[in-house]
A = this chain, B = another copy of it.
Amino acid sequence: MNKVGIVGYGITPFTKDDKKIESILIDSVKELFKNNSDINRNDVDAVLVSTNNNSKYLSPILSEMIGIQPKIAHSIENLCNSGTNSIVSAYSYIASGLADMVLVSGAERYDSPGSVLEWDVSRGEYKHPIFWSSIFTKSYKRKYNISEERLSMVSVKNHKQAKENPNALSNRVFTIGDVINSKQLTDDLRLLDCSRPCTGSASIILGTEEKVKKLSKEPIWITGIGQKTTSAGFTKNISFTSMDSTKQAVDTALKMSKKTITNIDVVELHDAFSVCEPLALESLGFSEDGTGVDLVKELYDTNNFKINPRGGLIGCGHPLGATGIAQTIEITQQLQSNANKRQVDNAKVGLIHNMSAAATSSTVLILEK
């Protein structure tokens, strides 16, 4: 299989702006080409658009706007992990030899139709994600005797880290008291436990070994890929206190990269809600079951940005189609020692965890210097 790495990237601030999807998309691509003036855009032979937006033909539209005529051009959707699905697809186009450089652009509006899974009507009105996350939260707290205060630390930590990220939706810090006293949405969920849909875009160009070595000053390689879909409706999940698809995805990704979880220096994981961070830490293998919240507190107390340095979905906002790409950009910046105040010391191997719909599907990527 051909080696695949990262040639360049661009990202926009995450906002609540009311802009057309085409304008959102082009913003991060402009940023990408501004940051990487050595890239000849005519050498981009595939353009993949990651979005839940209902507009059609967005890849040819984006291509026309940036003045290129790619071979491969289409949109990819899989709710919240559309971004990493698109990156894996780009990887396969390059690894197979069908393309040498692939632009992957993710974009979403704050009012994305992907924010609610309309199909999952088995629970009547309860199809909004806050209901599955409430069930996860109640189950997790009950099984491991976790208090509201301990779980709130996820939001406190991630908002603190987002404050060092100029593109994050939030630039405020909060106390445990602020989180607990924020608006109550369900029995077990407060407003500050939730990531917020927002407007934003993130673009990345992947390339062959030759392109990466020629065009990137600090090559970063995708060395591990793992994906798993266990179901669509979350009521098919075996457990509400772990993420089965994540467990299978991380196992595959680590094997492919010949790494163990102890080799991982920095992580972007999918904290759609507070409870998702300890669940993901445990399912990825960073913590024993029921102890993910302790790791979160330890990292906060020691000012260690290892987990979700950009502020996670809770701090950054969650423009669905862009999230997995923004996560990948953050890990790339970390491995390039280019993450400013968010920089994790001596980061050589990074992991991205991106999931959809109550972890019914997960993607895990391993990136290395």
Contact = CB atoms under 8 A, between A and B. Distances in A.
Interface in A1-39: 1-2, 22
Given A60-B361, A76-B76, A95-B98, A229 B70 contact: yes
A232 B64 contact: yes
A291 interface: no
Given A57-B117, A64-B236, A229-B73, A98 B88 contact: yes
A228 interface: yes
B69 A78 contact: no
Contacts of A73: 78, 85, 227, 229, 361
Given A54-B54, A71-B252, A78 B96 contact: no
A118 B74 contact: no
Nearest to A360: B60
A59 B357 CA distance: 13
Given A57-B232, A92-B89, A236-B64, A72 B227 contact: yes
Instruction: Among A73, A94, A117, find the residue whose CB has the most chain B CB atoms closer than 10 A.
Output: A73
A78 B57 contact: yes
Contact of A229 (B54, B63, B233): B63
A57 B356 contact: yes
A89 B85 CA distance: 12
Contact of A61 (B1, B55, B119): B119
B61 A232 contact: yes
A342 B361 CA distance: 42
A24 to B, nearest CB: 14
Interface residues of A, number: 58
A165 interface: no
A82 B76 CA distance: 10
A123 interface: no
Interface in A248-302: 252
Given A60-B360, A228-B69, A231-B60, A119 B77 contact: no
A113 B56 contact: yes
A110 interface: no
B77 A75 contact: yes
Interface in A93-119: 93-98, 113-114, 117-119
B72 A75 contact: no
A69 B229 contact: yes
A77 B58 CA distance: 9
Given A56-B114, A56-B119, A91-B98, 14 more contacts: A1-B97, A54-B113, A57-B77, A60-B356, A63-B229, A64-B231, A64-B232, A64-B233, A71-B229, A73-B85, A74-B82, A75-B78, A92-B92, A95-B97
Interface of A: 1-2, 22, 47, 52, 54-57, 59-61, 63-64, 69-79, 82, 85-86, 88-89, 91-98, 113-114, 117-119, 225-233, 236, 252, 356-357, 360-361
